[in-house]
């Protein structure tokens, strides 16, 4: 089993489904760990609350918080397929595919598994390039505000750095993938 | 061969990294608290602080570069958990495991030195206060270190 590939899948799932990492968990009291899961699927959390919320947003620009799954603007929550289909495909659909392929690929110790991990690596590079090049180009259509190329680098948040770490993890997983003859 | 002690150590390290307390019996107020030490009204954990028993705060949420120390502490304990679990599973090369356990011990020593200095500064006038200040989280970190050393010795025997 490719442990790096498995970790990559888990980290990707965290980035796709959570709004923040709850820290200081307090068992016994309910709380919310993902607003979009609560809004769209009614998934709430009856047994856990947290004292600190470690942010997972990719970019914070004024009161806009941009995630892999969508955007929070003020108190309103929007998924990418409501805002822009291209961004929905590039950020959400590809991320889900990365999570699935890296978990399946980590279990397969053959060339197919290695190809699945390679897909995750390439997909991560595409997501990062889309974020730093694609979003500033179409920022008016996607976010309703004009982004400069430099502005995006001034407003990056922890989610983006985790994305880069995941990309490095995908590279390591690809290079270390065990092959059984 | 799976090394159970290493995996237990890793799980404890993960618990220290994210949990504040687990209620066993809320009616009787039986709680397992993972705090490392207490200073006046501030309870210190690996992930941050709780002020006056109800306000949570973490220096990781501050702007760069104020967040670096808190981030290194939190990432260190997460890494210790990851390393202990990953190096203790079956099919890991013994040499790799040995190296990973040594890295984990180094990270634990770093955490002990850091928190040791902070605690020492607080009790410099009265050393006997140390047992009133430190809490379960600190003892659990010592247990993680002991488990780590035992697992390293077992690997060396292999």
Question: Rounded CA gap, A13 and A9, in Å?
Answer: 6
Tell me if B82 and A50 make a contact (CB, 8 A cut-off). Answer: no
pLDDT digits (tens, 9 = 90+) for B100-150: 999 999 999 999 898 888 888 888 777 778 888 888 889 999 999 999 999
What integer is the mean pLDDT of B85-102? 85
User: Which sign, positive or negative, has the C-alpha torsion A101, A103, A108, A109?
Assistant: positive
ipTM above 0.90, yes or no: no
Interface of A with B in 8-47 (CB under 8 A): 21-28
SS3 for chain A, per residue? Answer: CCHHHHHHHHHHHHHHHCCEEEEEEEECCCECCCHHHHHHHCCCECCEEEEEEEECCCEEECCEEECCCEEEECCEEEEHHHHCHHHHHHHHHHHHHHHHHHHHHHHCCCHHHHHHHHHHHHHHHHHHHHHHHHHHHCHHHHHCCCCCCCHHHHCECHHHHHHHHHHHHHHHHHHCCCCCC
Q: Nearest-CA residue of chain B relative to A23?
A: B18
Sheet holding A20-27, edge to edge: A48-55, A20-27, B19-25, B30-33
pLDDT digits (tens, 9 = 90+) for A45-103: 667 778 888 888 888 888 888 888 888 887 788 888 888 888 889 889 999 999 999 99
Model pTM score = 0.84
Tell me if A51 and B20 make a contact (CB, 8 A cut-off). Answer: yes
How far off is chain B from A122, nearest CA to CA, in Å? 25
Give me the count of residues in chain B: 158
Q: With beta carbons under 8 A apart, name residues in chain B contacting A18.
A: none
Tell me if B21 and A26 make a contact (CB, 8 A cut-off). Answer: yes
Q: Nearest-CA residue of chain B relative to A21?
A: B18
Q: With beta carbons under 8 A apart, name residues in chain B contacting A173.
A: none
Q: Tell me, what's the pLDDT at A32?
A: 63
């Amino acid at each position: 089993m490719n442990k790096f590939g498995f970790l990559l899948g888990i980290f990707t799932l965290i980035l796709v489904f959570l709004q923040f990492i709850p820290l200081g968990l307090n068992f016994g009291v309910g709380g919310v760990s993902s607003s979009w899961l609560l809004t769209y699927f009614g998934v709430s959390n009856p047994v856990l609350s947290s004292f600190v919320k470690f942010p997972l947003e990719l970019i914070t620009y004024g009161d806009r918080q941009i995630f892999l799954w969508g955007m929070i603007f003020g108190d309103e929550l929007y998924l990418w397929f409501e805002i822009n289909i291209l961004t929905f495909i590039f950020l959400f659909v590809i991320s889900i595919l990365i999570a699935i392929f890296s978990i399946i690929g980590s279990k397969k110790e053959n060339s197919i598994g290695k190809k699945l991990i390679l897909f995750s690596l390439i997909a991560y590079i595409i997501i990062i390039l889309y974020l730093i090049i694609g979003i500033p180009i179409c920022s008016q259509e996607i976010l309703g505000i004009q982004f400069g190329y430099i502005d995006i680098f001034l407003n990056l948040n922890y989610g983006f750095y985790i994305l880069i770490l995941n990309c490095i993890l995908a590279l390591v997983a690809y290079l270390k993938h065990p092959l059984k003859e | 061969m799976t090394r159970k002690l290493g995996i237990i150590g890793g799980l404890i390290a993960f618990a220290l990294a994210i949990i504040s307390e687990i209620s066993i019996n809320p009616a009787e107020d039986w709680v397992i608290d993972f705090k490392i030490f207490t200073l006046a009204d501030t309870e210190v954990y690996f992930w941050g602080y709780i002020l006056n028993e109800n306000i949570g705060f973490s220096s990781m949420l501050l702007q760069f570069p104020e967040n670096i120390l808190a981030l290194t502490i939190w990432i260190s304990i997460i890494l210790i958990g990851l390393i202990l679990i990953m190096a203790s599973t079956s099919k890991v090369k013994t040499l790799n495991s040995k190296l990973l356990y040594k890295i984990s011990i180094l990270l634990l020593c770093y955490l002990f030195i850091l928190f040791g200095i902070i605690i020492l500064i607080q009790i410099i006038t009265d050393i006997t206060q140390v047992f009133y200040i430190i809490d379960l989280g600190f003892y659990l970190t010592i247990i993680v270190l002991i488990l780590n050393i035992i697992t390293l010795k077992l690997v060396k025997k292999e």
